[in-house]
């Protein structure tokens, strides 16, 4: 961070936000000690911040276990942020149109730092039930992650690839860097990335990047998902790749307009 920005950086606020960011679907509750250890805060600092959030209603403490959960004000804040997010007002009509016309499951994620943040989802009634994090750093084994990686500048791409865990989740999960680079090159040539049961068993996906201006740096990705019960990956791609790429272009246009 440039020095002039550091001079006006509120470290206490940053610590508080890091605490709230710990709470998600996979980690709905934490103890004070776990929070301090996870974020490498001293106990006094962690207690002061946590107690403030409890008093304001953003965290709730169980009186018996002393474990902490998100409080009602976090729900209120989340909804205010979601509905006040200008880009969503531009994204939703475009996604809804394609969802209605093709009856297909669609996810829109935005890319920040090294994470994908899910901002909108439409799913079909027969969608395979699965849980996927709203915020994820798993870029190597998801279609959206690979769509972003494929269009990053080489330096940023190599940095992010080094940060990936390459955990062998399923038989088709790519765990070799060279194989991933080859897969990303194919994505660059085609304009979209594939996921062939690499993240969740029975789930296939195709994703195209949402590109900013003027450098066409990836702002995120839009993905279509289906199951192996409904489609083969080849058939799914043949049927929907053009629709996906057209939607990605339209989303890129509106996102470019919203980012100035």
- The β-bridge partners of 193 are 207
Give pTM, 2 decimals: 0.70
CATH number belonging to domain 3-78: 1.10.10.10
Q: What averages of pLDDT result for each successive group of 10 residues across the chain (260 residues)?
A: 63 92 84 95 94 93 92 74 64 93 93 85 71 79 96 93 92 95 97 96 95 85 94 96 97 70
Report pLDDT for 1.
47
Report pLDDT for 86.
59
Q: Domain segments of the chain: what residues?
A: 3-78, 85-258
Render pLDDT for 26-53 as a digit per residue (tens, 0 to 9): 788 999 999 999 999 999 999 999 999 9
Superfamily (CATH) of domain 85-258: GAF domain (3.30.450.40)
Render pLDDT for 3-25 as a digit per residue (tens, 0 to 9): 445 667 888 999 999 999 898 76
| Dihedral pair phi/psi, residue 170, rounded to 5° | -140, 175
Distance CA 6, CA 197 (A): 43
Report pLDDT for 126.
63
- Other Cβ atoms within 10 Å of 194 Cβ, number: 21
């Amino acid at each position: 961070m440039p020095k002039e920005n550091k001079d006006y950086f509120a470290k206490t606020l940053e610590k508080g936000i890091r605490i709230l960011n710990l709470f998600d679907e996979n980690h709905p509750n934490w103890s004070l000690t776990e929070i301090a250890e996870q974020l490498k805060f001293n106990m006094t600092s962690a207690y002061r911040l946590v107690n403030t959030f409890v008093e304001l209603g953003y965290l709730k403490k169980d009186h018996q276990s002393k474990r902490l959960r998100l409080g009602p004000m976090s729900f209120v804040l989340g909804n205010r942020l979601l509905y006040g997010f200008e880009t969503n007002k531009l994204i939703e009509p475009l996604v809804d149109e394609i969802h209605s016309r093709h009856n297909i499951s669609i996810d829109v994620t935005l890319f920040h730092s090294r994470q994908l943040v899910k901002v909108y989802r439409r799913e079909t009634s027969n969608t395979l039930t699965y849980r996927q994090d709203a915020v994820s750093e798993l870029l190597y084994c998801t279609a959206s992650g690979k769509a972003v990686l494929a269009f990053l500048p080489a330096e940023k791409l190599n940095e992010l690839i080094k940060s990936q865990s390459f955990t062998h989740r399923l038989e088709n999960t790519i765990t070799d860097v060279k194989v991933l680079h080859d897969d990303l090159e194919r994505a660059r040539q085609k304009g979209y990335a594939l996921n062939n049961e690499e993240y969740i068993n029975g789930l296939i996906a195709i994703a195209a990047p949402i590109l900013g201006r003027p450098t066409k740096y990836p702002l995120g990705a839009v993905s279509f998902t289906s199951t192996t019960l409904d489609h083969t990956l080849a058939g799914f791609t043949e049927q929907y790749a053009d629709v996906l790429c057209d939607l990605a272009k339209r989303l890129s246009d509106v996102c470019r307009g919203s980012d100035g």
